Structure 1
Amino acid sequence: MQNEKCPEIKMRLAILMTNTDESDFAQAHPKDGEKFTTLIQEQRPDWDCAVFSVKDGEFPVDIQEFDGALITGSPASVHDSDAWVAQLFELIRDMDRHAVPVFGACFGHQAIALALGGTVSPNPQGWVHGYARTDSVGDLPWCARPAQVGLYASHIEQVVELPEGAHVVSSGPDCMVGGYVKGRHIFTTQYHPEMTDSFIADLVEETEDYVGAEVTEAARASLKNTADRDVFGKQIIGFFEWATKH
């Protein structure tokens, strides 16, 4: 099935926004719902994306009314005891039971793993921040891809044990589980395909006091490289089209 071209199908996706940042910095930039909508519509302009601020308790009434879902990143931890995190985990388990196609990025990647029985722990090497070159592991059944893909990153926790039935499909610096697939309905990345070049540059400066000078300097230097946004955007689109077909 490698390289098979799926016919373009107009889809309706639910974007489950988990980003809890309400700072002045956040207000001055597009929210994650808008970022992911843009990423999707760069590839499929006619796809409909409905944004749900799950971090504020706003969830879809019936997730099965959608063709699939995306779970965004967040400065929150998947180990937080907030009610919305527990509700999101229940929704993830429901989507898994009903094989609803779902893509998770960063927090979303970790939340899916933890909700389905995996383990998320602090990265022993500390922050992965800025640009990261990730290695493709094995094949994706819905598309061909290069041996390496560059993506933007900002995380200090990572998946260290996968849920039953999942397998690694990408690996990055200090992050063995850079992305995984489970069945025909789950695809994830620890990284941030939605971030633009300008946004990650601003984020690196904004977070200097939080992550520290050494991490920030390394991140600045890494940004001489740019992410393969179009390449990974096609992977996400291909996943939803393939999952829907199968």
Structure 2
Amino acid sequence: MLIGILQTGQAPDVLIEKSGDYPDMFERLLAGYGFEFRSFRVVDGEFPADVQACDGWLITGSRHGAYEDHAWIPPLEAFIRDAYAAHVPLVGICFGHQIIAQAMGGRVEKFAGGWAAGATDYDFEGEKITLNAWHQDQVTQKPEAARVVGRNAFCENAALLYDDRAFTVQAHPEFEPDFVDGLAQTRGRGVVPQPLLDSATARLSDPLNSATMAARIAAFFQAKRS
């Protein structure tokens, strides 16, 4: 199964040598499930020829806001709607979660409650799952087509399921602790409140359920569809 990775941002240059860029992280996360991958830098205007070019699509995180005025965002939203209509499965992570919601009629905003950073606990329909988070924007109004399948007190729309067409998650199962530590040292200082950075650093050794989320993503991609 060929998964197209739609890259909407880039890891900090100082961290790429050790951690790789976002597509590398997702290829590691989903290793062992028999997927092949092809990446498209949509952040630079590189788009697939059509939604059938791959068997499924994964939209990465980004430092950009889904509501910002960038030339590549409207065609990405159109691509999302076309893939949804064609029943080509979509997975969105962080920005990917937000842009799919926005494309489908939801609302994304800079959250008044501030940032989430580092290991964060979520309720996935009764199952506690801990994943790394790094965001201030949130889906504040979900699309009608979406059902909430993950949440916590800070983020009520932390994971959304659009029947068998899209599965999106606000957190970053692809972020390993050393990458979060690097973000705290690079993008975090002066932007994320220091107490939150301190809390993220304090939880760097907490067990994560990234493998559990990888299995969910893989199962979603591989599900039989009519």
The 1:21/1:223 distance shift into structure 2, 3 A limit, reads closer
- In the alignment, which residue of structure 2 is the partner of 1:125? 113
SS at match of 2:214: helix
- Over aligned residue pairs, what C-alpha RMSD do you find? 1.6
Distance 1:22 1:151, change over 3 A: closer
Residues 22 and 149 (structure 1), Cα distance of their counterparts in 2 relative to 1, 3 Å cut: closer
Alignment of 1:36-55 (within 5 A): 36-41=26-31, 43-44=32-33, 46-55=34-43
The percentage of aligned residue pairs carrying the same residue is 32
Instruction: Kindly report which structure 2 residues correspond to 1:30-109, keeping only aligned pairs within 5 A, or say none.
Output: 30-41=20-31, 43-44=32-33, 46-109=34-97
Shift of 1:153: 0.3
Deviation of the 1:227 alpha carbon = 1.6
Q: Deviations over 1:205-242 (max 9, x none)?
A: 22223213222112112323132111111000011111
CA distance in 1, matches of 2:205, 2:107: 33
The residue number in structure 2 matching 1:215 is 196
Question: In 2 relative to 1, CA 224–24 (structure 1 residues): closer, same or farther, beyond 3 Å?
Answer: closer
Q: Segments of 4+ in structure 1 off by > 2 A?
A: 20-29
- The equivalent residue for 2:156 is 176
TM-score, normalised to structure 2's length? Answer: 0.93
**Structure 1 length-normalised TM:** 0.86
The corresponding residue for 1:155 is 135
The size of the alignment, in residue pairs, is 225
**Higher deviation after alignment, 12-21 or 49-58:** 12-21
In the alignment, is the contact (CA less than 8 A) between 1:20 and 1:76 conserved in 2? Answer: no
Q: Deviations over 1:141-193 (max 9, x none)?
A: xxxxx711110000001011111221100003410001010121110100001
Instruction: List runs of 5+ in structure 2 lacking aligned partners.
Output: none
**Matched residue, 1:192:** 172
Match of 1:12 in 2: 2
| Cα pair 1:36 1:194 within 8 Å, conserved | yes
Name the aligned partner's letter for residue 26 of structure 2: F
1:38 partner SS: helix
Distance, in Å, in 2 between the alignment partners of 1:95 and 1:62 is: 9
Contact 2:164–2:225 at 8 Å: present in 1 too?
Answer: no
Is the Cα–Cα contact under 8 Å of residues 132 and 173 in structure 1 kept in the other structure? no
Aligned twin of 1:230: 211
Q: What amino acid maps onto 1:158 in structure 2? A: Q
SS in 2 for 1:176: coil
Distance 1:14-1:25 versus aligned 2 partners, 3 A rule: same
